[in-house]
Every structure is written in C-alpha cells, then in structure tokens.
C-alpha cells in the first residue's frame, strides 16, 4: 500500500492542474486512512523555524515556508532566528505593498505576484507568507508599510491578482494577518472590540476577496484577540466566517507564536502551528516541537477521546490539499532566481507607485542634463531600507540608493551629499542611538545646502524600531531624528528645496508651505534609486495615488480622535470608537480637511474628466451600473490618471460614510489624447452590514455616483435610483 500511495501522489499531483478535484479528494481520503494518529498530529505543527514535517513512510513531503511579502527572505537557521549564512539566498527586493497599492494598477499586482512567486519556487518554498491586507487604521502602526492602505475595496482589488500571480508557480500565497492586527504595540495580547458592522465592512473584505476571488491556498492568523479570544484559533473568525460562510478550503497557519491553547487550537480551525516556544521571544525547552499545543497535548486529547479524530482528519485533509497544489503537483514550474526581468518588474512598480504631492511652479521634472549643483541631503539618501523592519527584512542582490540613482541620471550636475541627521543602526525590538554628533551633521548639511542651486532632501522614516518596523509602533506623526527642525534651517538658507519622503506611513509636514515640491517615495526595494531618478528627471511621469489619507495632525485621524482606549488601548482592551469611519471616510464625513487626501497624486501633465454618464438612472439589485467616462490629457506630456468612483447613499436608515470607493481604473493618455473608459459597479456593492439581521442589506432609494481623481476631488456627480 505504501508504494501505491507514493505513485499516486506523483500522479495526482499532475491531476490537479486538470481540475480533477474529485479524484484528488478521494485520494486524500485514502491517504488519511493509512496515517497513524501520531503521524496526523505531527503534520499539524512545526519541525523547524520555517517548516512542518511530512510522513516519510508514505512519501508525504515537508512543507517549507518563507517570509514575504516583498521578497523571499534569506535562509534562517533550523531552530533560531539567526541567518543560516548561505551564499545563494539573495533575492529581488520588490517595493513595499503600500507602493503597490499606490499604483492603483491590478495588472502590476499580478506581475509582482508572478515574479516573487518565481523566486519563492526557485528557492523551493511551498508557502510565501504574504500578502498583508490589514487595514491602515492609524498612521502610527509600525507595520503599515506591509499592507495595502486604508480602503477595503482598494486592498481587495490589489491583493487578488498578487495572490493569483504567486500561485501560478505552485507556491501558496498566505494572506495575513487574519484579523484586526492593526497595530504592533501590545499585538500579542490586546483584545480588540469592534462592531460587527465595522468588522464586515472595513476589516474583512480584503480577506474575503482573497478567499472568494483569489482562491488563496493559505491564511495566517494574527497575534491579537478579538472579543476575548485569540484570532489564530477563533470560533467566529475561522470556523464561522472563514471556513463556514466563505468556504475556505485551504490551510490556516499561526503567526509565529500566536497559538495559546490546545483545545481552542484544535476546535477553532487552526491547521498548522508555527513558532510556539521557539519564536525567539518566549522560553524554549528541549524537544520543544513536541510540546506545541497541536503536538503531544493534542495527541493526548485525541487518544483519550476528549477530541474526536475527525478534527485532526480535517486539518490533515487541508494540509494534503495544499500539498497537491504545491509540492505534490508535478506540473508546477521550476521557478527562477533573481534576474533582470524581476528587477524590471520591481522598477516598474516603483515608478508607478511614487506619488507627487506638491510641485510648485513645475519644480519637477529637473533637466537631466543640468550642470547645476544639486545637494542631496538626508540619511535616507544612502541608507539601505531592505534591512530591518522585522520579518520582511531582505537580503537583496542589490539595492540602488537614491543618491546613487540621482548621480547616475544627473551625470552632468555637481552632486554633493550630507547626512544631516543619523538614526542609529537597526535593531529588532529596541532603539540604538547613533554614535554620531547630530549637531555636526546638521551644521554640515546647512553648509552644503547654502552652496547648492537645488536641494533634494531625502528623509522620512526607516526600518528601525518605533519607525516602520514590526513589533512596535511610531511614537508620533512628525518626522523623527530632528528632521523637521533641520528642514526649517535648510529652507532658511536655500529657497529651492524639494522633499523626497521615504516611508510607509503618513507624516506631518510643518514645512509644507516652504517646500517647492514633495514626493512620497515609499520603500521601493532593489531599484529604489533608479525609480526615484526616473521620476525626478521626467523619464517617468508620476501617476501614483495615495492609498491612505495624510492627516494634518494626529488627532485628525479617526482612531486618535478619542481617548487612549481607542488607540492604543489600556493594555488589555481596545475599542475601535471611530467604527466604520476609517481614513477618508472619517475625514469626509466629519468634514476634516486632510493634509493630502486618499487617492490624491499629481502629474507632470494635466487631465480633465469631460463627462460621465450611465445608460439609465434606475437600477435593480442584481444590475451592474456601467459608467462611461471621457478623460482627456490636456497637457503636453504623456501620462496616466486614475479615475475613481465613490458611492454616496443619499438617505439611509443607518449612518453611512459621506462616500465609499467602489470602482477605479488607471488610464494612460498621450499628450492631447482623449479616451472613453467604462467602469462597472454592481448595485449589490452598495450594501451595508445590518447588525439587526447579521447580514448585508441593500436599501432602495437615491444614490450618488461621485466620479473624481481623489476622495476630495469629485468632478462629476451622477444621480441614480435603486428600485
């Protein structure tokens, strides 16, 4: 029987691609019959830092995982967080997912997914731990740079092609962190209290899209609690919603060390437990893997009949199903290591994700043939950003710094550089002060700026603790390390100062009015310097749009408009008091002017929305509203605009936001060109979650379709009726 099973594994691995799912499921049933109880339990927990065991007796392979979501992480030692020291584990560092979201381009998301999936497959990974789709609730969240912004519709549309792209390689995407992991401070125990409506309307849609549309093969739980129960083994989130309502047929994996109880883990949907006791954060013991909650303690409960064997059978069935899709699928491609095509994808995403926020008197683009003196000031001009940040840290083949990219593109200019400030080295979980003299760095920067024709200040945040980094949040909205004061002094000696912000989060800009131009550059990965120079020189016309709202001050953000129980909580509980009014929903509904709005981004050309029409103004629940929009490039440079459609329920029985994004499309236009595009909005997307019936509800009546280029730049309003 053993040899029959091994041959069957090889054969039916190919059958998956032929959609012969029934045969695969039958084969899985046969395998489960052959497994001992000990072997079944063994498959449900880790054997090393990033792998779970197979069953050698039956030819069932191990599962190997790797951190993402911006690249395939360097190899980690078997039983510690130390790097293994391999020489062939370098990767392409792709831009952070905030940048991908800023492209508003689902086609690029698929390219990104295919490329990173190829590298994961080449490195023999079965699960890539990404993408991250937690919602940007507060600009202080240290892990926002790994996610896709504040809007659930945008995150949904952008994560689906990423997932599909990864999985074309026979590598499982693993959407994370399910759910409500929207801050890093106290993440391992904070108990989130949120309305059912906000849960379903804001925090779950991207996960739902990943399952229902992306057909994702695995999902990672989160560290935090929701309504008193840890989310990695949560009855409502996993059993009722994920595996019940959505019909998820894949594997639920813990975040590393996020399991807390054997009975709950067994009965509430957890399939593979990782990192418990060997997560580098908690104490370890000899043979620790045997003491995981889903190891010997689970086996004992099964043997004494406290838990039925059908429970472990369901977990094993899901794990085997994942294997048929990945390491037991003999038709999956071989993958490709980091190569020029992958670097090209990274550069293209970076180019389209850069957001031009301000451009007074067409300061940018700079003439690439200029012979002027350009002072590049700021630590971020030279600091590597693929290092640090926590689990998304990467060992990349190369990382082109902003200074290097600027020097190469503006080869005829005199380029000078001064750090201006120093943040200190990266360290996980703690801040290490710089040993450099901040006063000396500031004086040198001011002297450099005084003698330059143009100053490009490349600052922002970095991947240090309490910046854009896992396991800690920022302590404020302003730029750290004295950058605001430094900018004031630089602007006092030079009027031609542009600011390039490298960050994954919004920042305050008290110097905004004095800056000639402001560019939001994100973390752009391997091709950072080239992509920034592409935009600053005009080789690429910026087309990125903000995937989150930049508030003027922290208190303008909904999560921070209340007492500390809203953020960060009291150390035990946290209440999402802004409810469904997250990001632009809060600003627009409360009429709070943002510093820069969601969906906002400038171009080197100008656009005009000429008209927006629908074939009818009366629709039924199962109809799709088709909006035809005429868009013109009224400038003299080729470019791209993102047409955005928001929906407003004119008269609702419940409080609703002033507007909600329901469609968008990026359109590329040559100078002087006009195009007609069509956007589709299913009427059933106008629903709200009605807590009185615990279900979605569509109300008849008047709706406004708001067509614009940002949440606060509405150009056309269409009035329709839902019957």
Domain boundary assignment for the chain: 344-590, 607-722
C-beta of residue 675 within 8 angstroms of C-beta of residue 667: yes
Confidence of residue 284 (pLDDT cuts 50, 70, 90): low
Q: C-alpha 68: how far from its chain's center?
A: 10
DSSP helix/strand/coil, 720? strand
Count the Cβ atoms, other than its own, within 10 Å of residue 412.
10
CA distances from 249 to 134, 152, 321, 366 (A): 21, 23, 8, 52
Q: What is the pLDDT of residue 130?
A: 97
pLDDT surpasses 70 at 569 = yes
What is the mean pLDDT of the segment spanning 32-56? 97
**Confidence check: pLDDT of 327 > 50:** yes
Can you spell out the DSSP letters for 460-498? E--SSTTSS-TT---S-SS-STTHHHHHHHHHHH-S-EE
Q: What percent of the chain has pLDDT over 70?
A: 96
Give me the pLDDT at residue 283, please: 52
**Per-residue pLDDT averaged across 352-368, rounded?**
98
Distance between CA atoms of residues 617 and 598, nearest Å: 28
pLDDT of residue 287: 61
Enumerate the β-bridge partners of residue 218: 174, 251
DSSP state of 304: T
- Please give the angle made by the CA atoms of 426, 182 and 278, to the nearest 5 degrees: 55
Query: Is 255 a residue of the active site?
Result: yes
Reduced to 3 states (helix: H, G, I; strand: E, B; else coil), residue 676 is strand
For residues 295 and 41, the answer to whether their CB atoms sit within 8 Å is yes
For the segment 45-65, the average pLDDT, to the nearest whole number, is: 96
CA 306 – CA 256 distance, rounded (Å)? 27
pLDDT at 109: 98
The closest of 163, 189, 201, 180 to 69, measured between CA atoms, is 163
What is the dihedral sign for C-alpha 21, 244, 40, 169? Answer: positive
Please say if the pLDDT value at position 10 is more than 80: no
Residue for token pair 């627009």: 588
Beta carbons within 8 Å of 149's beta carbon, 6+ residues apart = 98, 101, 102, 135, 136, 155, 546, 547, 548, 583, 598
Report pLDDT for 300.
98
Q: How many CB atoms lie within 10 A of CB 36?
A: 10
Q: Please report the pLDDT score of residue 285 as a whole number.
A: 59
> Given pLDDT bands bounded at 50, 70 and 90, which one contains residue 4?
very low
Does 11 have pLDDT greater than 60? no
Structure tokens that stand for 671 in this block: 């100078």
Q: How many CB atoms lie within 10 A of CB 440?
A: 11
- pLDDT tens per residue, range 449-493: 999 999 999 999 999 999 999 999 999 999 999 999 999 999 999
Distance, CA of 93 to chain centre: 14
Confidence tier at 50 by pLDDT (50, 70, 90): very high
Question: Residue 709 pLDDT > 80, yes or no?
Answer: yes
Residue 101 has pLDDT above 50, yes or no: yes
Catalytic residue (choose from 151, 255, 534, 556): 255
- pLDDT at site 79: 86
Contact 337, 122 (CB under 8 A): yes
Residue 97, CA atoms < 13 Å, CB-side half-sphere: 33
Please name the residue that has the structure tokens 């430094």: 486
Per the CB < 8 A criterion, the answer to whether 601 and 579 are in contact is no
**Which residues have a Cβ under 8 Å from the Cβ of 528 and sit 6 or more positions away?**
350, 385, 399, 400, 401, 402, 405, 502, 521
116, two tokens? 């990173």
Instruction: Check pLDDT > 70 for residue 97.
Output: yes
Architecture of domain 344-590: 3-Layer(aba) Sandwich (3.40)
Distance CA 481, CA 478 (A): 10
pLDDT tens figures, 378-434? 999 999 999 999 999 999 999 999 999 999 999 999 999 999 999 999 888 999 999
pLDDT at position 286: 57
CA distance 474 to 490: 25
CA atoms within 13 A on the CB side of 588: 25
For position 8, what pLDDT does the model report?
A: 47
| Residue 163 CB coordination number (10 Å) | 29
CA atoms within 13 A on the CB side of 631: 26
Render pLDDT for 157-208 as a digit per residue (tens, 0 to 9): 999 999 999 999 999 999 999 999 999 999 999 999 999 999 999 999 999 9
Spatial distance between the Cα atoms of 120 and 112, rounded to a whole number of angstroms: 12
What tokens were used for 92? 């392409």
Sign of the Cα torsion 179, 133, 189, 42 reads positive
CA neighbor of 371 nearest in space, from 417, 409, 416, 413: 413
* pLDDT at 558 (0 to 100): 98
Q: At what angle do helices 402-409 and 528-536 cross, to 10 degrees?
A: 50
> In the CATH scheme, what is the code of domain 607-722?
2.60.40.10
* pLDDT at residue 281 tops 70: no
């Amino acid at each position: 029987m053993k040899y029959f099973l091994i041959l069957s594994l090889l054969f039916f691995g190919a059958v998956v691609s032929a959609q012969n799912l029934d045969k695969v499921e039958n084969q899985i049933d046969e395998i489960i019959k052959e497994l001992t109880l000990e072997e079944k339990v063994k498959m449900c927990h880790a054997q090393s830092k990033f792998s779970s065991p197979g069953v050698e007796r039956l030819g069932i392979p191990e599962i190997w995982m790797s951190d993402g979501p911006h690249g395939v992480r360097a190899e980690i030692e078997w039983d510690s967080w130390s790097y293994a020291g391999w020489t062939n584990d370098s990767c392409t560092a792709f831009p952070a997912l905030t940048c991908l979201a800023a492209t508003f381009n689902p086609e690029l998301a698929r390219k990104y997914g295919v490329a990173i999936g190829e590298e994961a497959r080449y490195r023999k990974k079965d699960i890539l731990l990404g993408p991250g789709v937690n919602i940007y609730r507060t600009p202080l969240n240290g892990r926002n740079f790994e996610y896709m912004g504040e809007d659930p519709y945008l995150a949904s549309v952008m994560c689906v092609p990423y997932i599909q792209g990864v999985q074309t390689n026979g590598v499982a995407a693993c959407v994370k962190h399910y759910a409500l992991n929207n801050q890093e401070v106290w993440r391992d125990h904070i108990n989130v209290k949120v309305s059912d409506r906000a849960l379903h309307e804001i925090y779950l849609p991207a996960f739902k899209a990943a399952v229902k549309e992306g057909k994702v093969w695995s999902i990672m739980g989160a560290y935090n609690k929701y309504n008193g129960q840890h989310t990695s083994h949560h009855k409502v989130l996993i059993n009722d919603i994920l595996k019940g309502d959505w019909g998820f047929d894949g594997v639920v994996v813990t975040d590393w060390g996020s399991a807390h109880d054997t009975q709950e883990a067994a009965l509430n949907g957890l399939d593979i437990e990782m990192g418990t006791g060997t997560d580098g954060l908690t104490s370890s013991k000899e043979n620790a893997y045997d003491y995981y909650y889903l190891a010997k303690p689970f086996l004992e409960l099964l043997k004494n009949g406290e838990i039925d064997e059908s429970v472990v059978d369901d977990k094993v069935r899901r794990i085997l199903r994942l294997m048929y899709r990945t390491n037991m699928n003999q038709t999956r491609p071989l993958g490709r290591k980091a190569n020029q095509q992958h670097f090209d994808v990274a550069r293209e995403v970076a180019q389209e994700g850069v957001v031009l926020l301000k451009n007074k008197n067409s300061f940018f683009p700079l003439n690439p043939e200029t012979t002027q003196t350009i002072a590049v000031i700021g630590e971020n001009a030279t600091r590597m950003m693929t290092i640090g940040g926590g689990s998304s840290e990467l060992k990349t083949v190369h990382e082109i710094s902003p200074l290097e990219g600027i020097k190469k593109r503006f080869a005829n200019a005199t380029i000078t550089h001064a750090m201006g400030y120093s943040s200190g080295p990266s360290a996980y979980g703690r801040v290490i002060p710089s040993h450099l003299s901040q006063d000396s760095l500031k004086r040198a920067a001011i002297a450099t700026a005084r003698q330059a024709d143009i100053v490009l200040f490349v600052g922002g945040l970095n991947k240090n603790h309490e910046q854009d980094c896992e396991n800690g949040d920022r302590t404020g909205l302003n730029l750290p390390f004295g950058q605001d004061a430094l900018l004031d002094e630089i602007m006092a000696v030079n009027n031609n100062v542009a600011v390039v912000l490298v960050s994954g989060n919004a920042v305050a800009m008290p110097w905004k009015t004095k800056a000639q131009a402001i560019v939001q550059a994100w973390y752009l990965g391997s091709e950072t310097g080239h992509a920034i120079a592409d935009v600053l020189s005009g080789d690429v016309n910026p087309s990125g749009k903000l995937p989150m709202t930049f508030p003027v001050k922290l208190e303008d953000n909904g999560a921070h408009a209340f007492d500390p129980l809203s953020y960060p909580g009291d150390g035990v509980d946290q209440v999402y008091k802004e409810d469904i009014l997250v990001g632009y929903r809060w600003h627009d509904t409360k009429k709070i002017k943002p510093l820069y709005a969601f969906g906002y981004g400038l171009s080197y050309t100008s656009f005009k929305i000429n008209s927006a029409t629908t074939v009818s103004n009366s629709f039924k629940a199962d109809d799709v509203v088709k909006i035809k929009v005429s868009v013109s490039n009224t400038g003299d440079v080729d470019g791209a605009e993102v047409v955005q459609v928001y929906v407003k329920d004119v008269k609702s029985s419940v409080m609703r936001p002033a507007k909600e994004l329901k469609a968008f499309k990026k359109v590329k236009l040559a100078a002087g060109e006009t195009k007609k595009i069509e956007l589709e909005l299913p009427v059933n997307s106008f629903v709200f979650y009605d807590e009185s019936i615990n279900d979605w509800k569509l109300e008849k009546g008047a709706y406004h379709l708001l067509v614009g280029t940002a949440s606060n730049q509405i150009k056309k309003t269409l009035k329709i009726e839902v019957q």
